[in-house]
Amino acid sequence: MTAPRLRSVARSISALNAAGVAVTLLVLVATLATACSSGNPSAKGPGPIAPPSSDTTAAPPSTSGTAAPPSSTSSAPSGPGQVTIKDYDFIPSTIMVKAGTTVTWANTDVADHWVMSAPASPETFDLGRQGTNNPVTHTFAKAGNYPYFCNLHNYMKGTVVVS
């Protein structure tokens, strides 16, 4: 083989190697994108993750208060002042209780959740990261509408209406 022919073959091999690297990178990116988007199809991505608050003291559940009617898409939880977290949803999404009631959020989902007051809430509460079958509680002392959301799945929203 002549020197010019060898140089031509070397350039071809180099071009094929560069194309191979590009294809490999493309496959890697596609694989990562698929892996990152798997899971809950209705998920819009996690919200910001805040550090746990120091005032996440859990109080024992209260038996006072009344539960709101069940949401139109799910059944009602088992008792007054009780919100069930299931299928990435708060059930019921709106609960009505009397002042002084302790509301319990029972996570029956396979994923962790993090109940936290929304900016419009008259009182700030941050109940921390909550694993499956790990209930968290908060006592609502004053009347008002207390919107809240899941800090890990910010499309999950609910409201506690206190009278």
The predicted pLDDT at position 13 comes to 61
pLDDT tens digit string along 110-123? 999 999 999 999 99
Q: Is the pLDDT of residue 15 over 70?
A: no
Residues 78 and 152 in one domain: yes
CB atoms closer than 10 angstroms to residue 158: 23
Residues 124 and 66 in one domain: yes
Which residues are 23's β-sheet partners? none
Residues 35 and 51 in one domain: no
Q: Helix H segments across the chain?
A: 3-37
User: Which domain range does residue 27 map to?
Assistant: 1-39
Q: Is the pLDDT of residue 40 over 70?
A: no
| Residue 18 binned pLDDT confidence (cut-offs 50, 70, 90) | low
| Residue 17 binned pLDDT confidence (cut-offs 50, 70, 90) | low
* Contact between 83 and 95 (Cβ < 8 Å): yes
The predicted pLDDT at position 67 comes to 35
Residues 23 and 97 in one domain: no
Residues 95 and 137 in one domain: yes
Residues 129 and 151 in one domain: yes
Q: Is the pLDDT of residue 82 over 70?
A: yes
Q: What percent of the chain has pLDDT over 90?
A: 51
Residues 25 and 95 in one domain: no
Q: Mean pLDDT, the chain, as a whole number?
A: 72
Residues 57 and 114 in one domain: yes
Segment 126-153 shows an average pLDDT of 95
The CATH code of the domain that includes 110 is 2.60.40.420
Domains identified in the chain, total number: 2
Residues 147 and 118 in one domain: yes
* Contact between 59 and 139 (Cβ < 8 Å): yes
The predicted pLDDT at position 74 comes to 37
Residues 58 and 95 in one domain: yes
Residues 7 and 54 in one domain: no
